[in-house]
Amino acid sequence: MARSFIIDTDTASDDAVALLMALRHPDVVVEAITVVAGNVELEQGTRNALYTVELSGSDVPVYRGSTAPLRRDLVVAQFFHGKDGLGDQGYPEPRGQAAEGDAVDVLIRTIRENPGIVLVTLGPLTNIARALQQAPDLVALVGRCVVMGGAACTVGNVTPAAEYNVWVDPDAARLVLRSGLPIELVGWELCRGPATLSEDEMEEVRGIGTDLARFAIDCNTSALAAARLQSREPGLPLPDPVAMAIAIDPNICTRRSRHYVDVEVESDLTRGMTVVDQLDVADDERNAAIWEAVIATDRTVEVCWEIDVPAWKDLLRAALR
């Protein structure tokens, strides 16, 4: 039976591959794609989403959303993804146009019309936070909320403490993580090390011979170079596709556990840090004053700690054939 997805994205290179995975999967129906400013500014992210949708052969509607974080200036990641977000490969302008309507309104309407829908977030959580502010009832209507974001008890990729999606709009991330949504947190660390695509694996993907396979590797040219420089990765890290793989097949996450998770919003040093209560000390009465806003109700988050690396790569290859 087909499952309904709605995907919120700041479409750059790894987002585009994640979109292809969902759009090409036989038992996933993507109801809408909503775009948020993040990796690139909103208009560029919208163009990239439209181009990816056309490349996949889909006609799913794409909607513009938030142009900036809730209360901070936008800091884009073009240093990582290229000026156009797709590795500056010179891709043509999409033929289609963004659909009429604001992404936040579309999120509210689509979730209400599809109870149990899977919400997948690939960028800053600004659109999701705004939707929850307007429609708190969405919490009970989402079946799963798979969030690519954060760095669970590990180093960050934009600061020593924080992952980019959460760092860009930590206020939105805090609101969403405290909301009670059924969140599955997929941190950037899960795409690292053996989960990266090696040179041989990238050639294997390219060797599939489809336009989609070539696009998946070529649009990540800038990301590959940046990752080698920034975090000395052994191959190409693809955080958004890893999150999408878990959204499509939850068994790809092989170790998970529930914890209180909060986000630092005040400190310059640790802004955007995802603080995971891994030892469940928040239940200790001595910490009640610190965690009162979080532990008033069951607002725990399911944190994914490990993945089945071969299974995630198999799912990627299948989408590109």
Neighbours of 204 (CB within 10 A): 15
Neighbours of 116 (CB within 10 A): 11
Domains of the chain: 3-320 (3.90.245.10)
pLDDT tens per residue across span 205-260: 999 999 999 999 999 999 999 999 888 898 999 999 999 999 999 999 999 999 98
Per the rule left: phi > 0, alpha: psi between -120 and 50, beta: everything else, 146 is beta
Strand partners, 146: 120, 184
pLDDT tens per residue across span 22-51: 999 999 999 999 999 999 999 999 999 999
